[in-house]
Amino acid sequence: MSGRFDGMVAFVTGASSGIGRATALAFGGEGASVVVADIDADGNKETATMIERAGGRALAVDCDVTSGDQVKAALHAGVDRFGGLDVAFNNAGIEQRPKPTAQIADDEWDRLVAVNLRGVFVAMKHEIEIMVPRRGGAIVNTSSGAGIKGVKGQAAYAATKHGVIGLTRSTALEYIAAGVRINAVCPGIVDTEMMRRYTGGTDEGRIGVIAPVPIGRMAEPGEIAAAVLWLCSPEAAFTVGHAMVVDGGHSA
């Protein structure tokens, strides 16, 4: 296991499936020791096992990103095991069931904000605390194609993902002088368990979400992982506060 991240330590939230799992595997495949964090303990352990079976090093930590204490504990478990923190991918998120804004319950709104926006803030805050004394690091936060435009029936989800971009850009300006680079990735339609829930798991639902995508298909999770790894790599050393859209031309 060798590559761009030899000797580095990566931290990935939402690592039990989908984009998070694909990115954790990609980091491991390029030489990083990977701390995988997720509320889904079984799926999270499976991701760690997959990394280890491929010859990498991994640590699975149960973590609810809405809890600052759990996020901090997960990060420091990785520091204790592997000796530091070099890159982080704050990816944990949940979807919104399609509905008009006036029908969104207060508790549904609060839950989306807690996971999708506050969870990124809390993770990034504690990652920065570790990275700044080390004078370096790279962080990528997961926004969405819904973070750069309005989406009918997705007001709460879109609001959280717009918020991630604002949070990313502002924080990037604050910490680049300390050597910490912060960016966001904005995936379009990706073939994940979350998307299957959103489409109802039907061929009709799948065709419906693919229809407006110029490339004519969903992305594979590994295609988003490739963008994340580039943003974390030395190749992206001059990329700061950017929201990289990876959506098959959907927003063009």
Distance (Å, whole) CA 26 – CA 48: 12
Distance (Å, whole) CA 216 – CA 135: 43
Name the active-site residue from 89, 157, 175, 198. 157
Residue 157 annotated among the catalytic residues of the structure: yes
Q: What is each CA distance from 82 to 11, 45, 75, in whole angstroms? A: 11, 17, 11
Query: Where do the H-state alpha helices sit in the chain?
Result: 18-29, 41-53, 68-82, 106-112, 119-134, 155-175, 193-199, 203-210, 221-232
Q: What is each CA distance from 152 to 100, 146, 159, in whole angstroms? A: 8, 10, 12
For tokens 């491929």, what's the residue? Answer: 54
Report yes or no: 199 and 206 within 8 Å, Cβ to Cβ.
yes
Catalytic residue IDs: 157
